[in-house]
Amino acid sequence: GAVVSQHPSRVICKSGTSVKIECRSLDFQATTMFWYRQFPKQSLMLMATSNEGSKATYEQGVEKDKFLINHASLTLSTLTVTSAHPEDSSFYICSARSPGQTIYGYTFGSGTRLTVV
Amino acid sequence: AQSVTQLDSQVPVFEEAPVELRCNYSSSVSVYLFWYVQYPNQGLQLLLKYLSGSTLVKGINGFEAEFNKSQTSFHLRKPSVHISDTAEYFCAVSVSGGSYIPTFGRGTSLIVHP
């Protein structure tokens, strides 16, 4: 089945630095990928929809200048947290929609635990 | 817009006992319903889905769920749980005619005790 690889699984960075998280679809091409943020013991909040070859669509309240999304190829989307602060610490999960699926073909990455110190 | 309510934040249960995780949704249009499982520090895995047809849906790992339109519910059940079922469970809904991007509930932590 479809596999989505997300790296790194854990990252610790200093306040003020930037961190890049990669999301790759390993055995299929994903024209659309999704980035979620999950706070402890809470649900997944959709941050943005990443479209290959075009600008990402951000959800209301998400700072597009802080969370830079690039979807340069059909198998790779990246999320860069710029000038990270402790409040950006969270679990970030990407998801890709399987080819030909619209309703339920979402495959999730294993997530990235970001800690900003 | 659609929404999902998971009524229990945490459900403790003993091994081999039955369990039910509750989920209610709100939507003014037809919905598709899902249950996902998340193990610690991992992504989400689809347990089962309701798209149409039979209201009783069977999924992986012995789980099943029943769609009840009149009660706008989609409760998840398992007749006998194992220690390995300890995880976070998320109910999700997407609506027809829209982007189909699922909206997730807050999650229910299932804790199976020996």
Contact assignment for A109 to B49 by CB distance below 8 Å: no
Q: Which of B33, B101, B110 to mutate to test the interface with A (most CBs of A within 10 A)?
A: B101
Q: Are A117 and A16 in contact (CB under 8 A)?
A: no
Closest CB from A43, A103, A110 relative to B94: A103
Count A/B contacts: CB-CB distance under 8 Å: 53
* Residues A52-67 pLDDT 10s: 888 899 999 999 999 9
* pLDDT of B93: 92
Rg of chain B over Cα atoms, rounded to whole angstroms, equals 14
Sheet strand arrangement including A67-73:
A4-7, A19-25, A76-81, A67-73
* pLDDT of B19: 98
* Residues B82-93 pLDDT 10s: 999 999 999 999
Closest CA to A50 of A79, A84, A80: A79
Contact assignment for B109 to A41 by CB distance below 8 Å: yes
Q: Which residue of A has its CA nearest to B97?
A: A103
Closest CB from A43, A91, A111 relative to B90: A43
Contact list in A for residue B42 (CB cut-off 8 A) is 110-111
Q: Are B64 and B1 in contact (CB under 8 A)?
A: no
Question: Mean of the pLDDT values across residues B12-18?
Answer: 97
The residue written with tokens 């706070």 in the block is A39
* Residues B30-84 pLDDT 10s: 889 999 999 987 888 999 999 888 999 999 999 999 999 999 999 999 999 999 9
Give me the residues of chain A with pLDDT under 70, please.
101-103
* pLDDT of B95: 82
Contact assignment for B51 to A104 by CB distance below 8 Å: yes
Q: How far is A66 from chain B (nearest CA, A)?
A: 23
* pLDDT of A102: 66
Q: Are A76 and A24 in contact (CB under 8 A)?
A: yes
> Model confidence at B98, in pLDDT bands (50, 70, 90)?
low
* pLDDT of A27: 86
- How far apart, in whole angstroms, are the C-alpha atoms of residue B81 and residue A111? 26
Closest CB from A10, A43, A49 relative to B106: A43
| Integer CA distances (angstroms), A101 to A3, B65, B84, in order | 14, 22, 30
Beta bridge partners of B25: B4
